[in-house]
Amino acid sequence: MSDDDTIDPADRGKLTAAEYVLGVLGGEERREVKRRLAHEPALASEVAFWEERLGVLADAVAPVAPPQHTWSLIEDAIPAAEAARPTSLWQSLAFWRGFGIAAATLAAASIAALAYIGLVPATRAPLMATLAGSSGQPNFVAAVTATGNSLVVVPAALLTNDPRAIELWLILPGPNQRPRSLGLIQPGQPIRLTIPPDLAGHLTPDAALAVSLEPPGGSPTGLPTGPVIASGKLTSL
Amino acid sequence: MRSQLAAALARVAGGDRAALRIVYQDTCAKLFGVCLRILKDRSEAEDVLQDVYVTVWRKAATFDPGRASPITWMVAIARNRAIDRLRMRTAGGRLEPIEAADAVSDPAPAAVERVELAQQHQRLTRCLEELDARHASAIREAFLDGATYEDLAARMNVPLGTMKSWIRRGLLKLRACLER
């Protein structure tokens, strides 16, 4: 880029993100930006700015129906991709600490969750879920009491001081189900939540739980508005 | 309330395949159009499209609806993949016209999102209008075709240094205008 010396060097850095998003860089320069993106949050946020702002230019492109078979090829490709899930908010934002003690804390959290719900004699087996980030890192363990009307959530990893609230959602099976809020949980301590009566019957092994980051006080819309940082299916013990 | 698409992405993040199908149905024609425009080759665009949805499946958990709209997030993934693919072609790559393709109607996004996107579009258009017309048109073409500085200079018949200067000045002005 030394061939254009009329541009202020201070602006050059900003330009890199814009040029990358616009798509004018050659193969080697693109790879260089991609490498830097992994460890330069300022560059990544500049890239996000341009992606969001320039993205509307795609409105000028006419939609074209892809061939019918494309979907089945995607569906076939998913399990393999899932096994290798490499990217994650956890790694990219260094969101959590203590990766190395994950297994031990997961075990401890599981025991704590079981202790909290108590070994109440019941006809129904308790349900548990390990809520993991997209890298597979377990972050919370949740257990539903045998009576089915409350839920204990125990952190299995240590959160940094993020000012955002952490909200727990019930994801029911089926194509038209919206996530239903189960309430706010705490990053640093176990919490017991009462399950709203209209949802109590829906915590079954088909359902999943998810955790998202929300503005203080929780999602203002009744749906997750921030990134989903952990999720997992309920399983019967 | 955010769109169905954002809600479906949240469920994709939870590993729900049915939700990915909804996302696919809502967005595949738009994203295929974007890939095809960049690659100008149906079979390559199909490959890239598959890769795009596998990426959406893996990265849905990193989508932050507070910072990006679902469709621009997905357009960014599609363009990124298509441009990478384009750059992988050996020199002298094909530039054939797009074969006759069946245009389809664009599925309507939810009302709120449609309003937000319209506002963003208006804002960008207004800012592009403040630029020198040649700079603005080079920026549009670069975005839509994923063309390099070299391609654009050849197309618009100006020296490479001139093209770089047009686009860089244009981008800096655009940044300032968008931030206002």
Q: Place A15 in a pLDDT band, splitting at 50, 70 and 90.
A: very high
Q: Are B158 and B85 within one domain?
A: no
Are residues B8 and B87 part of one domain?
yes
Tokens of B33: 């159009």
- The reply to whether A30 and A132 lie within a common domain is no
Each residue's pLDDT tens digit, B133-169: 999 999 999 999 999 999 999 999 999 999 999 999 9
Do B106 and B34 meet the contact criterion of CB atoms below 8 Å apart? no
In the listed set B79, B109, B139, which residue is the last one of a domain according to the structure?
A: B109
Which pLDDT score, from 0 to 100, does residue B96 have?
A: 38
| Whether residues B17 and B102 fall in one domain | yes
The whole-angstrom distance between B163's CA and the closest CA on chain A is 10
Chain A residues near residue B30 by CB distance under 8 angstroms: 58, 61, 63
pLDDT at A86: 41
Q: Across all residues in chain B, what is the average pLDDT?
A: 85
> CB-side exposure of B121: number of CA atoms within 13 Å?
12
Q: Say if CB A81 and CB B122 are below 8 A apart.
A: no
Look at residue A85 in the predicted model and tell me its pLDDT.
43
C-beta of residue A233 within 8 angstroms of C-beta of residue B15: yes
Q: What is the CATH number of the domain that holds B32?
A: 1.10.1740.10
What is the number of structural domains in chain B?
2
Nearest to A11 among B30, B101, B172 (CB): B172
In a shared domain, residues A55 and A118: no
Please report, to the nearest 10 degrees, the dihedral formed by the alpha carbons of residues A156, A162, A167, A168 taken in order. Answer: -20
Indicate the pLDDT class of residue B49, thresholds 50, 70 and 90.
very high
Provide mean pLDDT across the span A22-30: 93
Give yes or no: residues A58 and A147 share one domain. Answer: no
The better pLDDT of the pair B177, B105 is held by B177
CB spacing of B58 vs A61 below 8 angstroms? no
In a domain, B89, yes or no: yes
- From the list A30, A21, A8, A91, the residue with the least C-alpha distance to A49 is A21
Flag if A56 and B120 touch (Cβ within 8 Å): yes
Judge if B83 and B158 occupy the same domain: no
Query: Which range marks the domain in which residue B174 is found?
Result: 130-180
Answer whether residue A47 is part of any domain: yes
pLDDT at A92: 34
Q: Is A235 exposed, middle or buried (0-12, 13-18, 19+ CB in 10 A)?
A: exposed
Number of domains in chain A: 2
Residues A134, A58 share a domain: no
In this prediction, residues B67-95 reach a mean pLDDT of 82
A102 and A216 assigned to the same domain: yes
Same domain assignment for residues B86 and B136: no
pLDDT over 50 at A93, yes or no: no
Task: Say which of A70, A85, A232 has its CB closest to residue B50.
Answer: A70
* A133-155 per-position pLDDT tens digit: 766 677 888 888 777 788 888 88
What's the domain range around A205? 92-236
Tokens representing B173 are: 């002005």
Same domain, B99 and B142: no
